[in-house]
Amino acid sequence: MNNSARNTQQRRSVHSFLIAIAVLLLAPSAYSDNAAAETIEVPWQQLEFQASKLFVSGKLQFKLTEIAADKAREKLLQVKQQKSLEPLSDTLALLHLRSELMSNRGEMRIWMDPRDFRVYQRERMTTGTNTRLKLYRYLRNAVYRVRKESKSSDLQFDSPKWRTSSEQLIPLRADKASSTALHDPSALLLIASSKALAKIGDSVTVTVFTDKQFYAATLKVTGQKPVKAKYRLSDYSGSRTVSAELNTLQIELTSKLLGTAQEEEPFEFLGLNAPILISVDPKSRLPLQVEGSQSRVGKVTVDVRKVKLKAK
């Protein structure tokens, strides 16, 4: 082989190697260790919503806190032979939800990045008619789903009385237009509370995982709506009642199933199905009202009743 042919072959080998590296680097991943997350600011620390229609009444509480990453790692499930997502910052955001609907009660813990609220792990516990715990550990390009059950009704998330009934690895289903940073449907309320949705026409689309499927969820400001608000507000100066009619931004939440599989169950936001509308005060960025539907009772309106602002 002459020198010219040898040089040509070497250049082709180097070129092929560089292409292979580029493919690996550009391959979609749910998270990157060096990913730069845009910070989302929300004004509230705690919210309480109430709803009642006919014979159905319910209450939903949100509590947002931060916890040191080292302490949070103790609560994050490590999945064997899988690359679990690990915290990228010194702290994690923990969103704790409590819900009451007639005789059923539920709790949820969502462990998230404190900057853009992408999810590391979600735990959902329900008691009443059915007592079960579902844990979702977010991996690179997949979600590991664990279902646990117990005959006891008075249990905590970390109780040893839970018994695993099923485990499932669910690969990420995404298209080229969707983000691969995964969020939780309930945490969309955090995005709705941010200044990213400040005027008519603004929109944010994120990829969310429900119980078994992936969706592209879009929050879009579609108009304005007057809302008669009445809630108890707590902040650094004390506590007072806010009662006023406010002209709110109306944010529409829509969803699109990702992948080619059939939809197994309708997309839900705080237990509500489409059409879903969130009314946010443009000045305080507080979500004052959520509207949606339920199969048993039709249209449901959920109003904020208590608010605790973040400390300044």
pLDDT of residue 302: 94
Q: Show me where the domains of the chain are located.
A: 38-309
Stated pTM of the model = 0.84
- Give yes or no for a contact between 280 and 192, defined as CB atoms under 8 angstroms apart: yes
Mean pLDDT of the chain: 84
Residue 160: burial class (beta carbons within 10 Å; 0-12, 13-18, 19+):
exposed
Expressed in percent and rounded to 5, the helix, strand and coil fractions of the chain are 10, 50, 40
123 vs 296 pLDDT, higher one: 123
- In 3D space, the residue among 166, 114, 155, 110 whose CA is nearest the CA of residue 137 turns out to be 110
Cis peptide before 160 (omega within 30 of 0): no
pLDDT above 90 for 153: no
pLDDT of residue 32: 41
Encoded tokens for 210 = 């429900």
Partners of residue 50 on adjacent β-strands:
59, 303
pLDDT in tens, 199-242: 999 999 999 999 999 999 999 999 999 999 999 999 989 999 99
Give, as one character, the DSSP assignment of residue 42: -
Task: Say which range, 102-106, 138-142, 191-195, 300-304, has the weakest mean pLDDT.
Answer: 102-106
Conformation bin of residue 117: beta by default, left when phi > 0, alpha when psi is -120 to 50? left
- Give yes or no for a contact between 57 and 305, defined as CB atoms under 8 angstroms apart: no
pLDDT in tens, 80-94: 878 888 888 899 999
